[in-house]
Amino acid sequence: MFVNRKFRLRGSTNFKRVRQQGIATAHPLFVLIYTQNSTGRVRVGVAAGRSIGNAVQRNRAKRRLRASIQPFLERIQNGVDLVILARKPLLQASFAQITKAMAKILADQQLISERTYETQTASQRDSA
């Protein structure tokens, strides 16, 4: 359910590089910043600032973001670093809303194909 270690972006220098050089796209629930990397694999970093709330709320927001991107990791093009920054409304959103927003942002930025996004949301409806 959670992001495997091999897919994690770690270290402040990596976060800083993605934030400075990356392309950002915003959604009311989170901000997605991405850039190319030289490792040839997808790496994801998740952050939640103090404006989100106390430590419990920040950790919950990060867990929800990691879980929402998990189904898409194998479909994201290789060689991309992603940083996802939580926003306060994320705490009130349902998991389905977060996953749908994640799929839409990834498809809009052409990190996954539109067809993949439609298949993913259809399978979620079937399982619900």
Instruction: Tell me the DSSP string of 76-106.
Output: SPSSEEEEEEE-GGGGTS-HHHHHHHHHHHH
Whole-structure pTM value: 0.82
Higher model confidence: residue 3 or residue 5?
5
71-92 pLDDT, tens digit per residue, is: 998 888 888 999 999 999 999 9
pLDDT value at residue 1: 44
4-63 pLDDT, tens digit per residue, is: 777 788 889 889 999 999 999 999 999 999 999 888 889 999 999 999 999 999 999 999
d(CA 3, CA 21): 23
Beta strand pairing status for 30-36 and 80-86?
antiparallel
| Structural domains of the chain, with CATH | 5-109 (3.30.230.10)
Q: Which two tokens stand for residue 57?
A: 């709320």
Mean per-residue pLDDT, 102-123: 74
